[in-house]
Protein backbone atom coordinates (compact mmCIF):
# COMPACT_ATOMS: atom_id res chain seq x y z
CA UNK A 1 0.00 0.00 0.00
CA UNK A 2 1.40 3.37 -1.05
CA UNK A 3 1.51 6.13 1.53
CA UNK A 4 0.85 9.83 0.87
CA UNK A 5 3.99 11.81 0.05
CA UNK A 6 4.71 15.30 1.40
CA UNK A 7 6.20 17.26 -1.52
CA UNK A 8 9.40 19.19 -0.91
CA UNK A 9 9.26 22.99 -1.27
CA UNK A 10 12.09 24.45 -3.38
CA UNK A 11 12.42 28.22 -2.93
CA UNK A 12 13.51 30.21 -6.01
CA UNK A 13 15.08 33.68 -5.92
CA UNK A 14 13.49 36.20 -8.34
CA UNK A 15 14.11 39.89 -9.00
CA UNK A 16 10.39 40.55 -8.43
CA UNK A 17 10.16 38.39 -5.28
CA UNK A 18 10.15 39.46 -1.65
CA UNK A 19 11.90 38.76 1.63
CA UNK A 20 8.73 38.83 3.81
CA UNK A 21 7.37 35.28 3.52
CA UNK A 22 5.53 34.79 6.83
CA UNK A 23 3.35 32.92 7.71
CA UNK A 24 4.25 30.41 5.01
CA UNK A 25 8.06 30.44 5.43
CA UNK A 26 10.61 32.26 7.58
CA UNK A 27 11.59 35.63 6.14
CA UNK A 28 14.47 35.40 3.66
CA UNK A 29 17.72 37.31 3.16
CA UNK A 30 17.18 37.48 -0.63
CA UNK A 31 13.96 38.05 -2.60
CA UNK A 32 12.06 34.78 -3.01
CA UNK A 33 9.56 34.72 -5.84
CA UNK A 34 8.47 31.10 -6.05
CA UNK A 35 8.25 27.90 -4.05
CA UNK A 36 8.01 24.80 -6.25
CA UNK A 37 6.63 21.65 -4.63
CA UNK A 38 8.66 18.70 -5.92
CA UNK A 39 8.92 14.94 -5.57
CA UNK A 40 11.08 12.23 -7.09
CA UNK A 41 8.42 11.33 -9.68
CA UNK A 42 7.72 13.24 -12.89
CA UNK A 43 4.17 14.42 -12.28
CA UNK A 44 1.92 15.94 -14.97
CA UNK A 45 1.00 18.79 -12.60
CA UNK A 46 3.15 21.26 -10.68
CA UNK A 47 2.14 23.37 -7.66
CA UNK A 48 3.89 26.68 -6.93
CA UNK A 49 3.40 29.43 -4.39
CA UNK A 50 4.28 32.83 -5.86
CA UNK A 51 5.30 35.90 -3.82
CA UNK A 52 5.49 39.30 -5.57
CA UNK A 53 6.82 42.73 -4.68
CA UNK A 54 6.87 43.94 -8.32
CA UNK A 55 4.97 43.13 -11.49
CA UNK A 56 5.97 39.95 -13.30
CA UNK A 57 6.68 40.03 -17.02
CA UNK A 58 3.87 40.09 -19.57
CA UNK A 59 3.96 36.57 -20.96
CA UNK A 60 2.17 33.76 -22.75
CA UNK A 61 2.54 29.97 -22.72
CA UNK A 62 2.19 27.47 -25.58
CA UNK A 63 -0.28 24.62 -25.90
CA UNK A 64 0.71 20.94 -26.02
CA UNK A 65 2.95 20.17 -29.01
CA UNK A 66 3.81 23.80 -29.83
CA UNK A 67 7.16 23.87 -28.01
CA UNK A 68 7.64 20.38 -26.65
CA UNK A 69 5.08 17.71 -25.77
CA UNK A 70 3.58 19.53 -22.79
CA UNK A 71 2.15 23.04 -22.86
CA UNK A 72 1.31 25.21 -19.89
CA UNK A 73 -2.26 25.83 -18.87
CA UNK A 74 -2.50 27.11 -15.28
CA UNK A 75 -4.76 28.51 -12.57
CA UNK A 76 -4.19 30.99 -9.76
CA UNK A 77 -5.78 30.89 -6.32
CA UNK A 78 -5.22 34.16 -4.45
CA UNK A 79 -3.86 33.58 -0.94
CA UNK A 80 -3.10 37.19 0.01
CA UNK A 81 -3.31 40.56 -1.71
CA UNK A 82 -2.36 44.05 -0.62
CA UNK A 83 -4.99 46.77 -1.18
CA UNK A 84 -5.09 47.65 -4.87
CA UNK A 85 -3.14 44.57 -6.00
CA UNK A 86 -3.98 43.52 -9.57
CA UNK A 87 -3.41 40.80 -12.14
CA UNK A 88 -3.70 40.98 -15.93
CA UNK A 89 -5.45 38.46 -18.19
CA UNK A 90 -6.09 39.12 -21.85
CA UNK A 91 -6.87 42.58 -23.17
CA UNK A 92 -9.33 45.38 -22.41
CA UNK A 93 -10.66 45.05 -25.95
CA UNK A 94 -9.85 42.80 -28.94
CA UNK A 95 -6.82 43.86 -31.00
CA UNK A 96 -4.85 42.74 -34.03
CA UNK A 97 -1.51 40.94 -34.01
CA UNK A 98 0.06 43.94 -35.73
CA UNK A 99 -1.15 46.23 -32.93
CA UNK A 100 0.14 43.81 -30.31
CA UNK A 101 3.56 43.58 -31.99
CA UNK A 102 3.86 47.38 -32.05
CA UNK A 103 2.70 47.61 -28.42
CA UNK A 104 5.48 45.24 -27.31
CA UNK A 105 7.99 47.55 -29.01
CA UNK A 106 6.73 50.71 -27.27
CA UNK A 107 5.64 49.20 -23.94
CA UNK A 108 2.00 50.14 -24.57
CA UNK A 109 1.11 46.47 -24.11
CA UNK A 110 1.08 47.12 -20.36
CA UNK A 111 -1.82 49.57 -20.81
CA UNK A 112 -3.70 47.35 -23.30
CA UNK A 113 -3.96 44.47 -20.83
CA UNK A 114 -7.04 43.94 -18.69
CA UNK A 115 -5.77 44.56 -15.14
CA UNK A 116 -8.26 43.58 -12.42
CA UNK A 117 -8.08 43.94 -8.61
CA UNK A 118 -7.87 40.67 -6.69
CA UNK A 119 -8.98 39.44 -3.28
CA UNK A 120 -7.95 36.37 -1.22
CA UNK A 121 -10.06 33.33 -2.07
CA UNK A 122 -10.54 34.21 -5.75
CA UNK A 123 -9.64 31.81 -8.57
CA UNK A 124 -8.43 32.69 -12.08
CA UNK A 125 -8.06 30.16 -14.91
CA UNK A 126 -5.30 30.94 -17.43
CA UNK A 127 -5.42 28.64 -20.47
CA UNK A 128 -2.41 28.38 -22.75
CA UNK A 129 -2.30 31.30 -25.25
CA UNK A 130 -3.69 33.76 -22.63
CA UNK A 131 -1.48 36.85 -22.33
CA UNK A 132 -1.09 37.50 -18.61
CA UNK A 133 0.92 39.09 -15.80
CA UNK A 134 0.84 39.00 -12.00
CA UNK A 135 1.02 42.33 -10.21
CA UNK A 136 2.86 43.39 -7.06
CA UNK A 137 1.75 42.67 -3.49
CA UNK A 138 0.27 39.22 -4.11
CA UNK A 139 0.73 35.71 -2.75
CA UNK A 140 -0.96 33.02 -4.82
CA UNK A 141 -1.03 29.29 -5.37
CA UNK A 142 -0.45 28.31 -8.98
CA UNK A 143 -1.50 24.89 -10.26
CA UNK A 144 -0.20 24.20 -13.75
CA UNK A 145 0.85 21.64 -16.29
CA UNK A 146 4.37 20.59 -15.36
CA UNK A 147 6.15 22.71 -17.97
CA UNK A 148 8.26 25.84 -17.72
CA UNK A 149 7.99 27.07 -21.33
CA UNK A 150 7.35 30.83 -21.16
CA UNK A 151 7.47 33.53 -23.83
CA UNK A 152 7.96 37.09 -22.54
CA UNK A 153 6.40 39.93 -24.50
CA UNK A 154 7.34 42.77 -22.12
CA UNK A 155 9.43 43.05 -18.95
CA UNK A 156 9.29 46.76 -17.99
CA UNK A 157 12.87 47.40 -19.18
CA UNK A 158 14.48 44.65 -17.11
CA UNK A 159 17.54 43.16 -18.86
CA UNK A 160 15.96 39.78 -19.63
CA UNK A 161 15.36 38.09 -22.96
CA UNK A 162 12.05 38.70 -24.73
CA UNK A 163 10.40 36.23 -27.13
CA UNK A 164 8.08 38.48 -29.11
CA UNK A 165 8.27 36.68 -32.46
CA UNK A 166 7.61 33.27 -30.88
CA UNK A 167 4.78 34.68 -28.76
CA UNK A 168 2.77 36.83 -31.18
CA UNK A 169 1.35 33.95 -33.31
CA UNK A 170 0.13 32.15 -30.15
CA UNK A 171 -1.58 35.00 -28.33
CA UNK A 172 -5.33 34.92 -27.77
CA UNK A 173 -6.34 38.47 -28.70
CA UNK A 174 -9.75 38.66 -27.02
CA UNK A 175 -11.14 39.57 -23.61
CA UNK A 176 -10.63 37.16 -20.69
CA UNK A 177 -13.82 36.34 -18.72
CA UNK A 178 -12.24 37.15 -15.34
CA UNK A 179 -12.54 35.28 -12.03
CA UNK A 180 -13.93 31.74 -12.04
CA UNK A 181 -17.26 31.14 -10.30
CA UNK A 182 -17.12 28.31 -7.71
CA UNK A 183 -19.66 25.52 -8.15
CA UNK A 184 -21.08 24.11 -4.91
CA UNK A 185 -20.77 20.32 -4.72
CA UNK A 186 -21.92 19.79 -1.13
CA UNK A 187 -20.10 18.18 1.82
CA UNK A 188 -17.69 21.12 2.08
CA UNK A 189 -16.60 20.95 -1.57
CA UNK A 190 -16.58 23.59 -4.31
CA UNK A 191 -15.33 23.06 -7.84
CA UNK A 192 -13.06 25.93 -8.86
CA UNK A 193 -11.67 24.81 -12.23
CA UNK A 194 -12.38 21.93 -14.61
CA UNK A 195 -10.12 21.62 -17.65
CA UNK A 196 -8.55 18.96 -19.85
CA UNK A 197 -5.40 19.09 -17.68
CA UNK A 198 -6.59 19.42 -14.10
CA UNK A 199 -9.67 19.62 -11.94
CA UNK A 200 -9.40 21.68 -8.76
CA UNK A 201 -11.77 21.83 -5.80
CA UNK A 202 -11.70 23.78 -2.56
CA UNK A 203 -12.43 21.43 0.35
CA UNK A 204 -13.30 22.42 3.94
CA UNK A 205 -13.14 19.90 6.80
CA UNK A 206 -14.44 20.92 10.24
CA UNK A 207 -12.37 20.28 13.38
CA UNK A 208 -12.80 16.62 14.26
CA UNK A 209 -14.22 15.86 10.81
CA UNK A 210 -12.98 13.43 8.20
CA UNK A 211 -12.88 13.24 4.42
CA UNK A 212 -12.20 10.10 2.39
CA UNK A 213 -10.33 10.97 -0.80
CA UNK A 214 -10.96 8.62 -3.72
CA UNK A 215 -7.90 7.65 -5.81
CA UNK A 216 -7.20 9.99 -8.74
CA UNK A 217 -4.29 10.45 -11.15
CA UNK A 218 -1.72 12.90 -9.73
CA UNK A 219 -3.98 13.62 -6.76
CA UNK A 220 -2.57 16.67 -4.94
CA UNK A 221 -3.82 18.10 -1.62
CA UNK A 222 -2.68 21.65 -0.86
CA UNK A 223 -3.29 22.64 2.76
CA UNK A 224 -4.29 26.29 3.03
CA UNK A 225 -5.20 26.28 6.74
CA UNK A 226 -5.54 23.90 9.67
CA UNK A 227 -3.83 20.72 10.82
CA UNK A 228 -4.57 17.01 11.01
CA UNK A 229 -3.51 13.81 9.31
CA UNK A 230 -3.50 12.50 5.75
CA UNK A 231 -3.34 8.72 5.64
CA UNK A 232 -2.02 8.79 9.19
CA UNK A 233 0.73 11.35 8.41
CA UNK A 234 0.52 14.78 10.09
CA UNK A 235 -0.17 17.78 7.84
CA UNK A 236 -0.14 21.51 8.47
CA UNK A 237 -0.86 24.69 6.51
CA UNK A 238 1.51 25.42 3.64
CA UNK A 239 2.17 21.80 2.69
CA UNK A 240 1.37 19.91 -0.52
CA UNK A 241 0.72 16.16 -0.51
CA UNK A 242 0.58 13.57 -3.27
CA UNK A 243 -2.18 11.10 -2.36
CA UNK A 244 -1.80 7.94 -4.48
CA UNK A 245 -4.67 5.80 -3.14
CA UNK A 246 -7.98 6.12 -1.35
CA UNK A 247 -6.94 8.07 1.72
CA UNK A 248 -8.60 9.29 4.91
CA UNK A 249 -8.07 12.93 5.89
CA UNK A 250 -8.72 13.76 9.55
CA UNK A 251 -8.85 17.41 10.67
CA UNK A 252 -7.58 18.13 14.20
CA UNK A 253 -8.24 21.86 13.60
CA UNK A 254 -10.65 23.25 11.01
CA UNK A 255 -8.87 22.82 7.69
CA UNK A 256 -9.19 24.06 4.13
CA UNK A 257 -7.50 22.60 1.07
CA UNK A 258 -7.15 22.91 -2.65
CA UNK A 259 -7.56 19.43 -4.08
CA UNK A 260 -6.34 18.98 -7.66
CA UNK A 261 -5.93 16.00 -9.97
CA UNK A 262 -5.36 15.10 -13.61
CA UNK A 263 -8.64 13.92 -15.19
CA UNK A 264 -8.66 10.48 -16.82
Ranges of each domain in the chain? 5-170, 183-262
pLDDT at 7: 98
- What CA–CA distance (Å, rounded) separates 21 from 18? 7
Model pLDDT, residue 68: 85
Q: pTM here?
A: 0.96
Strand, coil or helix: what is 187? coil
pLDDT band with cut points at 50, 70 and 90 for residue 179: very high
185: pLDDT strictly greater than 70: yes
Is there a catalytic annotation at residue 181? no
| CATH match for 5-170 among 2.10.10.90, 2.60.120.10, 3.40.50.150, 3.30.70.360 | 2.60.120.10
Fold for domain 183-262?
Jelly Rolls (2.60.120)
* pLDDT tens string 221-252: 999 999 999 999 999 999 999 999 999 999 99
5-170 matches 183-262 in fold: yes
Residues β-bridged to residue 222: 240, 258
How far is residue 190's CA from residue 203's CA, in Å, rounded to a whole number? 7
Model pLDDT for residues 186-231, shown as the tens digit of each residue: 999 999 999 999 999 999 999 999 999 999 999 999 999 999 999 9
Catalytic residue among 152, 194, 202, 236: 152
Amino acid sequence: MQKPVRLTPSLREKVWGRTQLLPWYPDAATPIGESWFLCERDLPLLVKWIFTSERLSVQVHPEDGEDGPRGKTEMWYILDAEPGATIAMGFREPLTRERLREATRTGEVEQLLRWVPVQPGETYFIPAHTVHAIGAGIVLCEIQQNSDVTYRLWDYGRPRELHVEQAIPLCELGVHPGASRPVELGEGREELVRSAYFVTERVSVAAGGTFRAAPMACHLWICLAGSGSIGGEPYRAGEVWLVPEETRIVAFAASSFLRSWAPG
